[in-house]
């Protein structure tokens, strides 16, 4: 048997046609009903990719199993964004190998012989792309490595692993979007779905590994997105989140038309944006007009791609949600320049002013990194002051983690001591929490349209849903007037739109509200609910009880991305 590294070379060299050892026929690519268990780490893109992987493996005759003990194949779809994310995966891999006896018991129950090494273990996604063959070598924990653009090769990689050979494909692509793969949305609530519209990143922010793990930007044809969304609408879904590493850089030129993109003053792209017929604003408008009772959100955007025409779509279409993620990363122009973000503090603040001018009720969220290379106390204070000025409704906040291969790793010094980074991070979180709580207090007495997502985890007598502005709302589970028919009170169900009046701020991201009427986006927007049902309900405002629920929203904590 050859050593691991020579076998990796062989796997690498054979990446496409000749992936299988000569004694295996191509029939072996068939999964033969083997059970696959997938764990997903990292961002929503990974969640969406897992749905693509499920579809591809189902097509190759693999079966999804709900627990790891039943699995012939265990796949971890991984994240590489910070050292901590990778640390978790290494721990999990060791645990999976240590638990192989447990897995063997599962096979015995099924009357099958257990493979000597336990299940085939595969690493998918960003950590696979970053570490490549190293993953196969180290501690012999992994059998298969498959990068984010190579999922179509997965059945062949697994066949090779079943034959006892490690297998790897980490080729990045310039055009893979998996546009033709209908994702298998296992475990979906049937209400909210994620739809991937573009992949990759051209920005090259100096701290970020993503361009190295996800490759170049490419957009999925608008027609294929429209048909996936239409299918989701037909299946009863009420909310779609459009996904991409740089979702609002979306640029589809597949219809042959092309124009130059608008660029806001003060923002500079790393590479010239491509010409395209359909840009993000056009796509969002097209989808929102086609499905007026479906909500549309998007993540994760870059501040450079918020032209006025995108803001007009959000202002004018009530189902293009007024909740915008505009990642600032820092409030210091000096740090923003060394991060290579392509904008200054002033340009960012001017953008926020414009967003609030056009969409006054917008809720804003952001990402921040504390302790980036060269950040001093003055820079840090500028971040705090930017947070105070903008008052974000949600934020993802992280201590800087140096990643190999990035510009910062090559050119800058990770010179902010660990304890200083973390002290600054705590101050950033405190500043965020104070602003978000104040913003939530200001919500008391306001009316919102809530999409009901399910019962509250704390009580089956309460529903939980979200406002257009993406705030979590808890409301009593009681019959409400049906404003759509003007008829008698009805029971609310998951997927209903309910008009509510906020009575209490429970935390930085959660509100309590009084249900007023079941309604629709169109009716709520037209004011039909306030005319009829709202008058019938006296408003009961409870005293503030911020702090009663777990501190902050789930996104207030550092590292929760
Ligand atoms: N260290 C810490 N945070 C990072 N992010 C990206 N790269 C790093 C890093 N090396 C954060 C950014 C980004 C979010 C997804 O993760 O804030 O917007
Ligand atoms: Fe993690 Fe970024 Fe990869 Fe998402 S794209 S899994 S956040 S490294």
- Each residue's pLDDT tens digit, 500-513: 999 999 999 899 99
Choice among 47-61, 110-124, 276-290, 375-389 with the minimum mean pLDDT: 110-124
- CA of residue 198 to ligand 2 center, whole Å: 14
**pLDDT score of 559 more than 60:** no
Structure tokens at 114: 């257990």
Q: Rounded to a whole number, what is the largest CA-CA distance in the chain?
A: 79
pLDDT, average across residues 46-58: 97
**pLDDT score of 202 more than 90:** yes
Query: Atom 2 of ligand 1 has which residue's CA nearest to it?
Result: 400
DSSP classification of residue 116: T
| Strand-pair partners of 543 | none
Distance CA(261)–CA(244), nearest Å, equals 18
- Whether the CB of 79 sits within 6 Å of ligand 2: yes
CA distances from 336 to 84, 132, 371, 382 (A): 23, 31, 12, 11
- 10 Å Cβ neighbour count for 226? 15
Q: Quickly state the pLDDT bin for 197 (edges 50, 70, 90).
A: very high
| Pocket lining for ligand 1, CB < 6 angstroms | 81-82, 207-208, 327, 329, 367, 369, 398, 400-401, 403, 561
Bigger pLDDT: 112 vs 49? 49
pLDDT, average across residues 123-130: 97
Q: From the alpha carbon of 403, which atom of ligand 1 is closest?
A: 10
Q: From the alpha carbon of 368, which atom of ligand 1 is closest?
A: 17
Q: Are 94 and 19 in contact (CB under 8 A)?
A: no
Distance CA(76)–CA(123), nearest Å, equals 5
Cα 512 to chain center, whole Å? 26
- 10 Å Cβ neighbour count for 39? 15
Structure tokens at 10: 């062989």
Three-class SS of residue 148? Answer: coil
- Whether the CB of 43 sits within 6 Å of ligand 2: yes
**pLDDT score of 490 more than 90:** yes
CA distances from 152 to 16, 53, 134, 216, 283 (A): 10, 8, 22, 18, 27
> Which ligand sits closest to the CA of 211?
2
pLDDT digits (tens, 9 = 90+) for 331-365: 999 999 999 999 999 999 999 999 999 999 999 99
Q: Are 298 and 288 in contact (CB under 8 A)?
A: no
Q: Are 145 and 130 in contact (CB under 8 A)?
A: no
Amino acid 1: pLDDT: 35
Query: Atom 7 of ligand 1 has which residue's CA nearest to it?
Result: 208
Q: Are 276 and 219 in contact (CB under 8 A)?
A: yes
Q: Quickly state the pLDDT bin for 105 (edges 50, 70, 90).
A: confident
Cβ burial of 100 (10 Å; 0-12, 13-18, 19+) is middle
Three-class SS of residue 38? Answer: strand
Query: Atom 7 of ligand 2 has which residue's CA nearest to it?
Result: 43
Bigger pLDDT: 283 vs 15? 283
- CA of residue 388 to ligand 1 center, whole Å: 21
What sign has the CA pseudo-torsion 459, 560, 494, 361? positive
> Which ligand sits closest to the CA of 341?
1
Amino acid 492: pLDDT: 96
Total residue length of the chain: 561
> Which ligand sits closest to the CA of 130?
2
> Which ligand sits closest to the CA of 41?
2
Q: Are 464 and 454 in contact (CB under 8 A)?
A: yes
pLDDT, average across residues 464-489: 94
Q: Are 63 and 35 in contact (CB under 8 A)?
A: yes
- pTM beyond 0.85: the answer is yes
Q: Are 428 and 398 in contact (CB under 8 A)?
A: no
Amino acid 100: pLDDT: 76
What is 199-238 written as a DSSP string? E------TT--HHHHH-S-EE--HHHHHHHHHHHHHTT--
Helix boundaries (H) for 83-236: 83-98, 100-109, 126-131, 134-137, 154-162, 210-214, 222-234
Q: Which of 29, 542, 145 is nearest to 21 (CA)?
A: 29
| Strand-pair partners of 40 | 77
- Whether the CB of 46 sits within 6 Å of ligand 2: yes
């Amino acid at each position: 048997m050859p050593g691991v590294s020579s076998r990796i070379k062989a796997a690498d060299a054979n990446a496409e046609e000749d992936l299988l050892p000569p004694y295996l026929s191509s029939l072996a690519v068939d999964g033969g009903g083997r059970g696959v268990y997938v764990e997903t780490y990292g961002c929503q893109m990974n969640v969406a990719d897992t749905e693509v992987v499920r579809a591809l493996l189902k097509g190759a005759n693999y079966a999804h199993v709900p627990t790891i003990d039943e699995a012939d194949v265990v796949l971890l779809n991984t994240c590489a964004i910070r050292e901590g994310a990778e640390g978790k995966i290494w721990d999990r891999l060791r645990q999976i190998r240590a638990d192989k006896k447990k897995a063997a018991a599962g096979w015995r129950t099924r009357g099958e012989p257990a493979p000597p090494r336990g299940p085939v273990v595969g690493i998918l996604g960003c950590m696979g792309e970053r570490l490549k063959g190293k993953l196969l070598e180290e501690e012999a924990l992994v059998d298969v490595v498959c990068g984010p653009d190579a999922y179509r090769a997965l059945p062949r990689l697994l066949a090779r692993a079943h034959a006892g050979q490690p297998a790897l494909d980490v080729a990045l692509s310039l055009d893979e979007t998996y546009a033709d793969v209908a994702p298998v949305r296992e475990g979906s609530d049937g209400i909210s779905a994620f739809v991937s519209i573009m992949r990759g990143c051209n920005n090259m922010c100096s701290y970020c590994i993503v361009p190295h793990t996800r490759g170049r930007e490419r957009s999925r044809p608008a027609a294929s997105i429209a048909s996936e969304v239409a299918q989701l609408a037909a299946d009863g879904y009420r909310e779609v989140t459009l996904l991409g590493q740089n979702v609002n850089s979306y640029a589809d030129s597949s219809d042959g038309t092309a124009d130059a993109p608008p660029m806001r003053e003060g923002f500079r792209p790393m590479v010239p944006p491509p010409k395209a017929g359909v840009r993000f604003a056009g796509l969002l408008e097209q989808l929102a007009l086609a499905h007026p009772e479906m909500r549309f959100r998007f993540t994760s955007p870059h501040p450079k791609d918020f032209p006025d025409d995108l803001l007009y779509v959000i202002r004018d279409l009530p189902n293009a949600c007024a909740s915008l993620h505009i990642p600032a990363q820092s409030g210091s122009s000096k740090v923003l320049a060394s991060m290579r973000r392509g904008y200054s503090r002033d340009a960012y603040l001017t953008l926020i002013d414009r967003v609030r001018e056009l969409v006054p009720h917008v809720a804003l969220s952001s990402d921040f990194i504390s302790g980036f290379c060269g950040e001093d106390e003055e820079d840090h204070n500028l971040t705090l002051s930017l947070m105070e000025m903008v008052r974000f409704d949600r934020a993802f906040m992280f201590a800087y983690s140096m990643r190999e291969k990035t510009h910062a790793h090559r050119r800058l010094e990770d010179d902010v001591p660990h304890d200083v980074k973390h002290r600054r991070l705590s101050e950033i979180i405190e500043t965020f929490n104070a602003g978000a709580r104040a913003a939530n207090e200001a919500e008391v007495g306001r009316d919102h349209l809530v999409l009901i997502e399910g019962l509250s985890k704390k009580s089956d007598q309460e529903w939980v849903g979200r406002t257009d502005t993406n705030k979590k709302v808890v409301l009593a589970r009681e019959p409400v007037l049906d404003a759509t028919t003007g008829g008698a009170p009805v029971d609310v169900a998951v997927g209903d739109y309910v008009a509510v009046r906020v009575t209490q701020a429970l935390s930085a991201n959660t509100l309590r509200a009084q249900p007023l009427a079941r309604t629709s986006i169109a009716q709520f927007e037209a004011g039909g609910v306030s005319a009829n049902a709202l008058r019938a309900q006296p408003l009961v405002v409870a005293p503030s009880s911020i702090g009663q629920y777990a501190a902050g929203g789930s996104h207030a904590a550092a590292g929760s991305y």
